[in-house]
Structure formats: C-alpha cells, structure tokens
Amino acid sequence: MKSRMTTYMEGSEVMHELQVMLQDNSYRTLPGYSIDSETYPDNNVPFIESHVNYLRKHPQVNPAHYLSNLRLMLKIR
C-alpha cells in the first residue's frame, strides 16, 4: 500500500522543506518534548523528526497543506 505522504509530496521533499525552515531564522523551530526518555534522553525531539513522525502517524494529512500551515504558525513576526 502506498503511503499518502508520497501521494502528495515525496518524503525527501518534506524533509527538504523542513530543513529549509530549520535553517531559516525567521521561523521558530524549537525541538518538541517527549516523555520517551529511552529514545530521547534529554526529552527533546528534533524539529524535523517530530513533524515527519506526525505525518507518518497521520497518513490522511496532506503534507503540502501541513507544511503550509506549519510555516504560518512558526513564522516570527
């Protein structure tokens, strides 16, 4: 079964767009918090990993729309 993530955007495209946001100082791209201290000993989930994980867990979400909304929410004004 083909993942919806690849239907709308390739996984590498999503990763690239998240990397661009991470490197752009006009976006607030702080790491997320996780209670899984085995995987994340400092309880911080890297920005890119947290959003890729979300898209993998929610295959019905259109990655292009998700990234567009993410840009709007994280833009420093």
Over residues 26-64, the pLDDT tens digits come to 999 999 888 888 888 999 999 999 999 999 999 999 999
Contacts of 53 (CB under 8 A, 6+ apart): 45
- Domain total for the chain? 1
- State the residue range of the domain holding 18: 4-74
Indicate the pTM of the whole model.
0.80
